[in-house]
Structure 1
Amino acid sequence: MYAEAWEADAGPGDLVEIARTADRSGFDYVASCDHVAIPRRLAAAMSTVWYDPVATLGFLAGVTERVRLLSHVAVVGLRHPLLTAKQYATLDHLSGGRLILGVGAGHVQEEFEVLGVDFERRGAVLDECVDALRAALGPDEFPTHHGKLYDFEGLGQLPRPTQERVPVWVGGSSPAAVRRAAVRGDGWLPQGDPRDRLPEQIARVRRLREEAGVSDPLTVG
């Protein structure tokens, strides 16, 4: 649906060429999306070719120098936040602080079901995951989070991210996703918005952010 025909047969060499070209040309980031498994009912539209973002961005970090590494987007609700933090903190550390953690609620019900995660509550799960990841990707070797779904303290994780604050960008254009980006995110990743609708959506994100009392700048990716 959103893929180019060449992507189905692309291999490691193609990914390296694209990433190095983006690095040399001054692009802000290269990105990889997150799907565990695609059901047959969606395979024709979505394909089943989805490179794991942590492995892929780690691979591309080793062949680039400056371009940022974006998960666009990681469905972080499919995994415990400490597992996600371990993976992405390591990626940020090894890449010299180039990670942008893009997150989203997900939309493939079968993925949630096979992994034992409640699909209907994925929005609430994502909200708490973002809060937990803020702690788990922060400066503390022994992060603390006490929530409804996740509860941890006294468990150390090294290496820490190189960045003092790993930017979290929220993907999606539904009302819930836009609000989540405004209130919890450092950036917003639109999904499927027509170009002429973007100014209105960006203004809404900024208005919601102001109403929530969030003064930090917001990046639109």
Structure 2
Amino acid sequence: MQLPVQSQSAIYAEPWEAEAGAEELLAVARAADEGGFAYLACCEHVAIPRRLAKAMSTVWYDPVATLGFLAAATSRVRLLSHVAVVGLRHPLASAKQYATLDHLSGGRLILGVGAGHVREEFEVLGADFEGRGAVLDETVEALKAALGEEEYPVFEGERFSFSGLGQRPRPAQSPRPPLWVGGSSAPAVRRAALRGDGWLPQGDPRDGLPAQIERIGRLREEAGLAGEPFTVGAITEPLYVGEPAWDVGHRTLTGTPEALAKSLRAYAGMGVHQIQIRFRSRSVTELLDQIAAFARDVAPRLNP
């Protein structure tokens, strides 16, 4: 699941999150850890321009700091950047941050990356907005080298080159942490298929996923990658376990555990390997109740 509180876009944030902070994040992380959730996710924006602030808000916690904070309070759940806009900085700077996070968490990092979309954010940091797709392509390859097992990684590209520069601690995972690529545009899907270890869709409706997944499979087969491990993700509709006594919105999936599980199992039939869920809630207490109910009553029915 994507963590609440750490990003507060008007599209999905609940009203109670505006006054929440570290205590609520810790409670949610511990509940997800105890409930057997696969990962907790945190996304990235460095700065939001005024023109976008009403829709996006300016509340965007730093993913490395947030996931590092929560790593010490959890023991099993993995830590996903969904997504890190790694084109905003040099690959070695990103590698230092995320290698340290993987090292300190005992190998629980999943590095999710994306191209980004806020022009002013790139411009103020001196990053290339117009060429961000090509920059991300090269950055992904550079990160594969920089997050590998070599203390002195080597990479030679058009924009970035490094050798003879040591970085420790190394990531705990071997040969390196998994790297998932986010985005649903044609270039993003191609990038995920050919350069990533997994795909994180962004906003795809359920009925649009099969065509995207088929394209990924075709691209990987054509590139000779069909036999290598690859994780296909999906973001589900909002969920509410049980029958809500308040308006949770027409898109929200509600009902009995078996009804919810049946609906969610359809994703596996499309070729999806992991689903990211978001619960509707009016308070952190209700969210914790939803996490517990899902873990206890729905999750065991997902893989009969």
TM-score normalised to the size of structure 1?
0.98
The aligned counterpart of 2:155 is 145
The aligned counterpart of 1:20 is 30
Whole-angstrom CA distance in 2 between matches of 1:167 and 1:123? 20
Out of 161, 169, 192, the residue aligned to residue 181 of structure 1 is: 192
The aligned counterpart of 1:192 is 203
Indicate whether 1:123 and 2:133 are aligned: yes
Whole-angstrom CA distance in 2 between matches of 1:186 and 1:4? 32
Out of 229, 247, 256, the residue aligned to residue 217 of structure 1 is: 229
Alpha-carbon deviations, 1:111-142, whole Å to 9, x = none? 00000111000000000000000000000000
Indicate whether 1:79 and 2:78 are aligned: no
Indicate whether 1:170 and 2:208 are aligned: no
The aligned counterpart of 2:257 is none
Over alpha carbons, which structure has the higher Rg? 2
Alpha-carbon deviations, 1:83-121, whole Å to 9, x = none? 000000000000000000000000000000000111000
- AA of the residue aligned to 1:121: G
The aligned counterpart of 2:115 is 105
Q: Which moved more, 1:77-86 or 1:203-212?
A: 203-212
Out of 165, 169, 194, the residue aligned to residue 159 of structure 1 is: 169
- AA of the residue aligned to 1:14: E
- AA of the residue aligned to 2:151: E
Structure 2's unaligned 5+ residue stretches are: 1-10, 234-304
Whole-angstrom CA distance in 1 between matches of 2:183 and 2:202? 5
Q: CA RMSD in A?
A: 0.8
CA shift, 1:213, in A, is 1.2
The aligned counterpart of 2:252 is none
The aligned counterpart of 1:201 is 212
Whole-angstrom CA distance in 2 between matches of 1:204 and 1:29? 26
Whole-angstrom CA distance in 2 between matches of 1:14 and 1:180? 35
- AA of the residue aligned to 1:114: V
Whole-angstrom CA distance in 1 between matches of 2:221 and 2:44? 31
CA shift, 1:3, in A, is 2.5
Out of 88, 101, 117, the residue aligned to residue 91 of structure 1 is: 101
Whole-angstrom CA distance in 2 between matches of 1:200 and 1:4? 32
Indicate whether 1:51 and 2:61 are aligned: yes
Structure 1's unaligned 5+ residue stretches are: none
CA shift, 1:35, in A, is 0.4
Out of 135, 143, 163, the residue aligned to residue 145 of structure 2 is: 135
The residue matched to 2:192 in structure 1 has which SS?
helix
- AA of the residue aligned to 2:228: D
The count of residues paired between Structure 1 and Structure 2 equals 221
The aligned counterpart of 2:12 is 2
CA shift, 1:5, in A, is 2.5
- AA of the residue aligned to 1:76: V
Whole-angstrom CA distance in 2 between matches of 1:144 and 1:55? 27
The residue matched to 1:73 in structure 2 has which SS?
strand
